[in-house]
Chain A
Amino acid sequence: MPGEALEIAARSLAISGTATLLSSTWSIVLAYMLARSPRASRLLVPFLEALVGIPTVLVGLLLYLLLSSQGPLGMFRLLYTPKAIVVGQAILITPLITSVAYRVLTHSWSMYGELALALGAAERQAARLVFSESLPGLAAAVVMGFSRAFGELGVALMVGGNIRGYTRVITTAIALEVSRGEFGLALSLGAMLVAILVLVSLTLRFLGRLRER
């Protein structure tokens, strides 16, 4: 099992890392657009904040219906593949990353965006300063998104199928071991999951401190 556990951990990292990268790309752009548009943000932000806690099984179910062979996206044959989990996790964490990044960028714009414009910056220069000064906050939003993706079960189980050596990730492996009555193994996998999350968070903090120096 140790060899398989490491393989599962590596797969989980790759899937959730890709989902986080994908989701961060559009979520941070969307957050910036909302931060620059008070009217749109008044309508959209409460909606996004409500979706932060959406049950993972619901996202999994909706995606299952879309990706199943009778579904509208069935022709892509994504169901029970790692790609399906990536898409599902990326969708799942979009409201979380967007709403946290929106808070960070709104605060940062009111300070640094205004400062840059007041000093005669073009909008592009102001945006560059805002992003540069927001990096620690944006990194925190990304870490939160990664944690949610890495620790979720519903999407991975419903659209991944927990196929050994292919779509099995830490959370689905834990669920499987619990159903087999292998609580010790399930707890070890759980400890590994938490250790990876802490390690990712500490690494980003360390990088942030290096940048501040």
Chain B
Amino acid sequence: MRAAIELRGVWHTYPGSRRWALEGVDLEIREGRILAVVGPNGSGKTTMLKLAGTLYRPTRGTVRLWGSDFWASDGSQRLRLRRLVVYVHEKPVLVRGTALHNVAYGLLLRGYPPEEALERARSVMERMGVAGLASRERGQLSAGEAQLVSILRAVAAEPRVLLLDEPTAHLDLEKRRRLASLLRELRDRGMGVVVATHDYLLARRVADEAVVLEEGRIRVRGPPGRVLEV
């Protein structure tokens, strides 16, 4: 099966920094699989996810989405490819408006009529058991609720690959359990999921494959049962 996203020989450094955040990373992300990315703080997990989500352009190397070199593509091709992947930031960022509006926001950006976008958003929130949050303004949500809303916003957009950066950072035990079950459901529906996390329990519970990043390099990759023992 062809990889949905491929990082080939990717090196990345931030403007003004002399340090490589990533050094020669090769990675394949497939649809219908959950990949866990673990590693200490500053190991390059977020950078790798943002490169895979095409939010950053690599300093060296290529990022291919469904076989196309993203950064060599033209504007309309880039937009088409970018809409197949959604990255969810560790710190939930919500736009002005209610939780329901936020969950619908990705669909609105994609040109869905407002009624349909809101209906889909409502259905995603109901499936996750958080329909009660729908009418709350962003300032009225707890950190955990905001994180859940930002994850559901990505899910509602129905990408083919979902990139989650520390998705459980603000979630309580019950919400973590619900998230794990949602991720498995998405995987079974054919979505590719990448979870960058310190939560080894979540990684072991849901991942099909895991990689360990250290100092910008992939040190180990393989089945979570083996890799996460390292």
Contacts and interface: CB of A to CB of B under 8 A. Distances in A.
B86 A115 contact: no
Interface size grouping (class) on chain A: 10 to 19
A114 B150 CA distance: 13
A116 B106 CA distance: 8
Interface of B is mostly: loop
B168 to A, nearest CB: 19
Nearest to A211: B96
A209 interface: no
Contacts of B105: 119
Interface size grouping (class) on chain B: 20 to 34
Nearest to A119: B106
A120 B53 contact: no
B88 interface: yes
B8 interface: no
Contacts of B106: 119-120
Interface stretch (A125-133, A165-173, A181-189, A199-207): A125-133
B55 A120 contact: no
Interface in B78-102: 79, 82-83, 86-89, 93, 95-96
A115 B15 contact: no
A121 B109 contact: yes
A111 B154 contact: no
Interface of A is mostly: helix
A118 B86 contact: yes
A122 B83 CA distance: 10
Contacts of A42: 15-16
Interface of B: 15-16, 50, 53-55, 79, 82-83, 86-89, 93, 95-96, 105-106, 109-110, 153-154, 157, 159
Interface of A: 38-39, 42, 111-112, 114-122, 125, 129, 132-133, 212
Closest 3 CB pairs of A and B: A120-B83, A119-B106, A38-B15
Given A38-B15, A122-B79, A212-B96, 20 more contacts: A38-B16, A42-B16, A111-B93, A112-B93, A115-B89, A115-B93, A116-B109, A117-B54, A117-B82, A118-B53, A118-B154, A119-B86, A119-B106, A119-B153, A120-B79, A120-B82, A120-B83, A121-B109, A132-B96, A133-B96
